[in-house]
Structure formats: C-alpha cells, structure tokens
Structure 1
C-alpha cells in the first residue's frame, strides 16, 4: 500500500520524462556548492606544545580556528577586547576546553583599537616566565567593516580600518624581538588573514590612488566600501611581503644539525628560506557570517548594533548564500593549510634527524630529492590552499627615490652590498612598494599613539580606579 502510494505521488509530481533534468539540476546544485566551498587542506600537523597567539575576538571564523587548533593540541592565547572575567568570555572558553579536551586555551584582554592596551599586553607577555610563541595568527582584519549605505550609515569605519591595520603592525613590531631571540631550529610563522577584495585595489586603474593614499593624508577616502576594504587588504599583503624581506636580510639561521655518524650534507636553498620566521598572508574567501552578514549589517551579535531589514534580507537569501558563499568551517581551510605546510628549513632539519642513513649513501644529501611537492612560500599570499600570483604595479618614483638610486649607483661595491640586504624581487610591487607601505605604517602609528593615551597614563588611571574601589569597599564594610 505504501509503495503504491509513493508510486502514484512520484508519477504525479515527478514525471518520468523529467527524471534526467531533475538529476542534472540536483547534480549542478551539488557541484556549485562544492566549488563555492573551495579547497580543503590535505595537510596535517601535530601542534602539541605549540603556542599560538590568535587575535580577532570570538567571531565565528576565529572560534572555528581556535577549535581546530585546540583539537590538535596547540596552546592558544586568544586576545579579546572584553574583560576576561565577563560571562560571555568565560562561557566560550569553558565550552572550547570541554569540546576539544584541551585545557591550554587562555584568553588575554587586549583592545586592538587602543595602542596603550596593545603595549600593555605585550609588556605583560614579554615580562612573564614563558615567552614562547610558535605562530602569530592575526584574524582581526578578516571580518568585513562597513555596510551598504541603505543598511548602515558610514561612521568611524575608515578610522576602524586604519586602527586594526596599525594594531597588526604594532603587535608584530613589539613581539618580533622575542621571536628573533628564539632558538633557530624553531619553526615560527606570522599569518595575516585578509578579505578577498584586495583585487579591487591592485588593478592598474586604482594603483595610483593606492600609492597616493600612502604618502598623503589629504586623499579622500574611497567611496566604495569594497575598494576601502581592498585597500586595507592590499596594504597588509604588501607589508607582510616586505616583512619577509627584512627577516631574510637578517643573519641566516644555522644549518640543521646532522647525526654524527651520517655522511649526508643537508642543503638549504637560500632562495627558498633564509629565516626560521616565515610571514605569509591568507585570504579565506567570502564567508556568510564574517563577510555577507556584515555587508548587510545583519550581524546581530555585533556590539555596534544591526539592521532589522538587513537581518530579514540576509535570512531571505540564506538558501542562496549556502550555495554560493563559504561557511566558517570552509573558510578556515586556507589558514590551516598555511599553518600545516612544512617550511624548507624545518623540513630538512626533521629529515636529517629522523631518517635512517644507509652505509652506501653518497655525500650529497638524498633528502633534497625527497622533499614534498609543496612547501610554504615565505612572504606569499595564499587563497584556496594555493599561492596567489598577484600582480601589483610598482609605485612611481619620487625625487628622493631617484636621488637614493643615483647615490647607490655611484657607490659601486658598497651599493651592491646594500642592495643585497633588501633585494628588489619584483613581487607585489617590489621593494619600493614594500618600503612605501612600511614607512606609511610607521608614520600612521606615531600619529595614532600621539592621539591616544599612553601606557603610563592608562596604568596610572587603572591604579587610581583600583584605589578608589578599595576605598569604597572599606567604607561599605565599615
């Protein structure tokens, strides 16, 4: 009886002559869904006893990242703008520790919109007993800032973009001395996570405006939120590449040690990696929670508020968004790929220590031919678990740049030695573009620090507040 009923309903609503069309439509939907989610990493890494600093608060993207890393045994230090004793933070940390069976998940208060708060955290961390850091994971620049004009007014969005970018720069420069003094055999990674709109700012039609914004504060901000977000992403990408140039210009790390009974000679290609610290940028793509919901101002968890009409529109298009945009789980795959990929230097170090050596091995280390197909490329931009070859036009030369080039040309060998320190590899606008971005960050950071309370003023204010609270407590008890 049941089978007969199903047959009648099937023949009525699903005619047999349309079976092929229905199968093709369903297959197309599944194919689009699989394509929109992007590639998933095929790498894995044991992160036990690895300490990873994660910024970005507790957005959906950051929560998935922390969960994935904690499952693999990593020690997590999560920075949050909220007090660490707030109920929301306590509940989230307890839930993460329970679901991952990892008690080494900690949270530290650090407001990335305040330079004094960043300096206070770095001071506490560097003055502590344990200063180990294996990775800096900056995810706070990934969530979209700014909504469409119909859903949210444009207030303080440009300042927030600038401050979050400066927070990455300030954290990196303050923690870099600790990373440089770490053992040379330690694999350290600095990963900046950016949005996908960098292509808008890197096009030739907008490149001149991009470079003008670096040297002049009088340039009006971009009218398009996508161009503004793209400019922020492109600056971070170029800055990360220039940071890798600086790291590579430092004295090279020692060659990995070999077994005393081994005749193999490990070879490290100087073009592959010169420092045990690797800086890369990762673009996870367009996710529903951190990109689309914020564009429509439909993030009801945001402390800045949300638009009811934006929430209704977001929920209405949710079936299509599930089809064409990424979930947070799919978005983190490229970040995990950059964390799990072996670096050339670390790979050779592990191979020479763990691989047995035969008696008839030649003096040339056979591990060079045993390298995997893919290793992490220092200074690169990663998206969809692969390196993105982004073409950025070089900036136009200024008078001071031409003068510097002529002076270097007249110095002969001394000039050659100077240029070898920071070679112009031509990637992402070349060394000149990286230097322009770096100098603009330095100037903006100085202005940001001058416009905000200093660390000493913040500590004095906190001390006065604590004393006032103690006096009030004594008065109530008496």
Structure 2
C-alpha cells in the first residue's frame, strides 16, 4: 500500500495524493519537534559504575535533580542517606523512602533530619556523624539543595539565625556541613575514591562581582569560589566536582561526576605543578588537558563535558581565602548568638514550669484549707 502511494506522488505530484501536503507538513513539524527535543534534552551520561558498598550523602534528594540522582545511585546499589528538613517519621518521607526502596530494589536508602536553614541542626547531624570509632565510611557527598525566590518577590525570608535564606541554604550550609565532616572525609583510607559534588548554575558567569559586603547578591559565584578554595586546600583523596546545572536532564552531569573513573581523586594532590602532572601523565594529552580546565584540582562539568571557569574570582586564591575566613567568622558569630538565645529560652521555660508547679501547689493548699 505505501509503495503505490509513494509512486503516485513521485509521478503525479503530492496534489494527486489526498491530504498529501497536510501529511507532509505534519511529518516535517513532528520531525522538527523531535529534533529540538533531542537537542535541548541535554547530554546523556555515558559513564557507568557499580556503586555497591558506596555510602553517599545527598542534600535536596526529595525533588527535582536531587531525586533523580538518588534514584540512579540507588539503582546501582549505593547506600544513600538523604538529608531532609523533615523528620524521618514524617508520612511523606516514610512513603517516599518506601517507594524508592521498592522501585529500585535497594533497601539501603535512609533519611536523616538536617535543616539546612539552621546552623545548629547541621552541627548536630555532622557532629553525630564524625563522633564514631572507627570512622564511618563516606564515599560521596552530593549537594543538590537549593532555594530561589522569584525575582519579582520583595519579601526577604530569614533563617532562625537571622541570615538571608538563599545565602545560607545555597552556600553557607554547604560550607558548614563540609567543614565539620572534613575530618571524616580525610580519615578515609587513601585508596578510597571520595568525591564531593557541588551543583550550581551557569548564571555564575553573569553574577555580581564578589563583594563580601553584599552577600545576598553574589551567592552563586561565592559557592564556586568556595569550592575552588576547598579544593586547593585539600590534603586527602577527596575530589571536588562542580556542576553547571541545566533544567534539562541536569542529573546527567552529576551522575557523570559520580561515576566517571577519570575523575578519581585517589593519589592526586592539589599542590602538584603542571610539570609534575606532565611527568606523571607521561605527556598524556587527556590528563594534562583535563587538569588545565575547570577548577584547579577538581573538575567543572556542564552537559557532561568539562568546561573552563569563566570568572577569574573563582581561581583567585586571595578571594577564596577571604570568603573562607569570612564564612567561618560569620558561622561562629551566629552560632554563639543562637546558643545564647536557646539558653535564654530554656531558662524561661524552666522558670515558667516552676511558676506552674508553685501555682499548682498553692491551689492544692487552698483547696485543702477550704475542705477543713
């Protein structure tokens, strides 16, 4: 049937075929849509890896890109611990974890309560994690948590410590969590491939110039500068990988960072000179080329490809050190203020309870006198 129709169209033209032009326009339109969908769908991760016995901490793992990353890691057998602001007994978290375990066939999926908008909550979890002997295994930390208010919004939300919400969740929480977990990461065996994966977005290119006096407007670039500074200062096997997150299949780049064998930080140090790298690589163009791009000592990925860093501040050691010191001072100050506030609230509650007990005793004494 199709051959006679095609022959008729070839000899007598499309006008001889009923609805020929309509069918052709529809076919061309569908082909264009399919091509655009394929093009804008983003790159696909071609790296794969067996993740059995790997222990992975994930923030922002209950929705969006983070949820996709959690699912893919769980399918490959990783033990995934999702850090969420909700209690593990929350009905949503319980159902979500059970659904993940059922769909992936992996029972090693758990949730821990960590409110990234609270420095105190982060410290409680991280301190509990490192307070263990022997050191708990930790192969990977994937930081996907993020918050963003609409550009038209005039309402500025603050955290319990009095910090701007976007600044704390998108940057300071990651800094605080990794700072406390650092001993656990460095104590891992030298042959263990430990990776820390940041997520950011390409808007860092157009972000305001790094200014510690105007924190809220430069969160994206501060995140990148901090990851670069951490990588330069590292003295262990961990490898920092920064991801440019797109809205289309953003998880693919993160999965590549998690599973690509060439990104292993085992045996690498950030203090190696380019000449030493060339000697180690045996003038291997792939290795030396990879070490020249991205964040020094780490890798910058976008659409599953390594990219050059396009902002000079990110590679500036002085800027990284200043941001690092500023962040530490701010955390110390806010934690002290929050601790004093908690102590005052506790004292107020104790006094209130004492007053209630005293009032209750007085009432009982009055009733006893009335009965007499």
Report the TM-score, using the length of structure 2 for normalisation: 0.74
Give the corresponding residue for 1:145.
148
Structure 2 SS opposite 1:77: strand
1:433 to 319, 342, 359: 319
Aligned counterpart, 1:84: 88
| Kept after mapping to 2: 8 A contact 1:344/1:375 | no
Counterpart in the other structure of 2:196:
190
CA distance in 1, matches of 2:177, 2:92: 25
* Alignment partner of 1:384 is 2:309: no
8 A Cα contact 2:117 2:168, kept in partner: yes
Give the number of equivalent residue pairs.
319
Q: Does 1:241 align with 2:228?
A: yes
In structure 2, the residue corresponding to 1:108 is in which secondary structure? strand
Summarize the Cα distance change of 1:24–1:172 in structure 2 as closer, same or farther, 3 Å threshold. Answer: same
CA positional deviation for 1:460 = 7.1
1:447 maps to 2:333: yes
Q: For 1:348 and 1:183, locate their aligned partners in 2 and report how far apart those are by CA, in whole Å.
A: 11
Match of 1:277 in 2: 238
Deviations 1:64-119 (A, max 9, x none): 21111111110111111111111111111111111111111111111111111111
Max Rg structure:
2
**Structure-2 change in CA distance of 1:82 and 1:365 (3 Å):** closer
Q: Does the Cα contact within 8 Å between 1:37 and 1:331 map onto a contact in 2?
A: no
> For 1:95-106, what aligned pairs fall within 5 Å after superposition?
95-106=99-110
Instruction: Could you tell me which runs of 5 or more consecutive residues in structure 2 were left unpaired when the two chains were aligned.
Output: 1-13, 269-278, 358-372
Alpha-carbon distance in structure 1 between the residues aligned to 2:114 and 2:318: 33
Equivalences for 1:30-429 in 2 at 5 Å? 30-56=34-60, 58-128=62-132, 131-141=136-146, 144-149=147-152, 152-156=153-157, 159-164=164-169, 165-201=171-207, 206=208, 210-211=209-210, 213-214=211-212, 216=213, 219=214, 228=217, 231-247=218-234, 250=235, 275-286=236-247, 326=248, 330-343=249-262, 378-394=297-313, 428-429=314-315
Q: Distance in 1 between matches of 2:53 and 2:283?
A: 28
Question: Do 2:140 and 2:194's aligned partners in 1 also have CA atoms closer than 8 Å?
Answer: yes
- How many Å apart are 1:280 and its aligned residue? 1.6
Instruction: Quote the Cα distance in structure 1 between the aligned partners of 2:176 and 2:344.
Output: 17
Q: Taking CA–CA contacts closer than 8 Å with sequence separation of 6 or more, which of the two structures ends up with the larger relative contact order? A: 1
Structure 2 CA distance for partners of 1:23 and 1:379, relative to 1, 3 Å? same
Is the 8 Å Cα contact of residues 244 and 379 (structure 1) preserved in structure 2?
yes
Contact 1:119 1:455 in 2 (8 A): no
Q: Cα distance, 1:179 vs. partner?
A: 1.0
Q: Return 5+ residue gaps in structure 1 as ranges.
A: 1-9, 222-227, 251-274, 287-325, 350-363, 395-427, 472-478
Structure 1 vs Structure 2 CA RMSD: 3.7
After TM superposition, the score normalised by the length of structure 1 is 0.59
Distance 1:374 1:70 in 2: 32
